């Protein structure tokens, strides 16, 4: 009989992704870094780390550096992958600016079904191999520019 694990919240996933990223960027990950990256105060991080530790997603002792467990790293890596795919779709296909695309990706990466993420992955791979075509994309971009002009007036 398995222990019934509560599902992760999307905030937890965010923290795992942040820690995963920081771990790639630097040698050691501290509370401070996580707080900065997540744009929260340090006590929020401390308390989240306690939850993540309980779920065996991070190694963490008071005043020590933070590390992901294998499970934690798997989740962090998966979130990063999703994030990348979504952002790529938004910038490459929908022509959204990088910053906006990145923020959008960050918000929706948790909530898309695995099916959709997979399908989006396939789509992006497919497009890579079999591009939409120069004239077509140019046409779309012009079409968009026209539409956007109008939209600006509504704001």
Interacting residues with its own copies (CB under 8 A): 90, 93-97, 100-101, 103-104, 107-108, 111-113, 115-116, 118-120, 122-123, 125-126, 130, 132, 136, 139-140, 143-144, 147-148, 151
Q: Can you tell me the distance from the alpha carbon of 63 to that of 123, in angstroms, rounded to the nearest whole number?
A: 45
According to DSSP, the residues that pair with 29 across neighbouring strands are 66
| Residue written as token pair 């960027």 | 25
Q: Which of 24, 25, 26, 43 binds DNA (CB under 7 A)?
A: 43
Name which of its own copies, DNA, none residue 108 binds, using a CB cut-off of 5 to 8 Å depending on partner kind: its own copies
Whole-angstrom Cα distance, residue 155 to residue 144? 17
CB closer to its own copies, 25 vs 123: 123
Q: Which of 4, 27, 41, 149 binds DNA (CB under 7 A)?
A: 41
E strand map for 18-80: 58-59, 67-68
Helical (H) or strand (E) element with 139: helix 134-154
Q: How far is the CB of 80 from DNA (least distance, A)?
A: 18
Alpha-carbon span 56 to 62, nearest angstrom: 16
- What is the spatial distance between Cα 1 and Cα 6, in angstroms, rounded to a whole number? 15
Give the one residue of 45, 68, 85, 90 binding DNA; rule: CB under 7 A.
Answer: 45
**Helix axes 42-54 and 10-25, enclosed angle (nearest 10):** 100
The verdict on 121 binding DNA (CB under 7 A) reads: no
At its nearest, how many Å lie between its own copies and the CB of residue 150? 10
Report the residue number, 38 or 137, with the smaller CB distance to DNA.
Answer: 38
The residues of the shown chain that bind DNA, judged by CB under 7 A, are 6, 9-12, 30-33, 35, 38-49, 51, 62-63
């Amino acid at each position: 009989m398995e222990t019934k694990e509560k599902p992760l919240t999307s905030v937890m996933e965010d923290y795992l992704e942040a820690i995963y990223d920081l771990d790639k960027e630097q040698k050691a990950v501290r509370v401070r870094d996580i707080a900065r990256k997540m744009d929260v105060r340090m006590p929020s991080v401390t308390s989240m780390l306690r939850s993540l530790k309980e779920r065996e997603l991070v190694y963490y002792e008071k005043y020590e550096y933070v590390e992901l467990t294998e499970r934690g790293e798997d989740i962090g890596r998966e979130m990063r992958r999703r994030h990348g795919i979504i952002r790529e779709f938004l910038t490459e296909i929908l022509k959204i600016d990088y910053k906006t695309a990145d923020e959008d990706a960050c918000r929706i990466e948790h909530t898309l079904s695995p099916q959709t993420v997979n399908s989006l992955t396939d789509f992006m791979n497919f497009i890579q191999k079999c591009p939409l075509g120069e004239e077509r994309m140019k046409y779309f971009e012009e079409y968009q520019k026209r539409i956007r002009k109008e939209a600006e007036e509504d704001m």
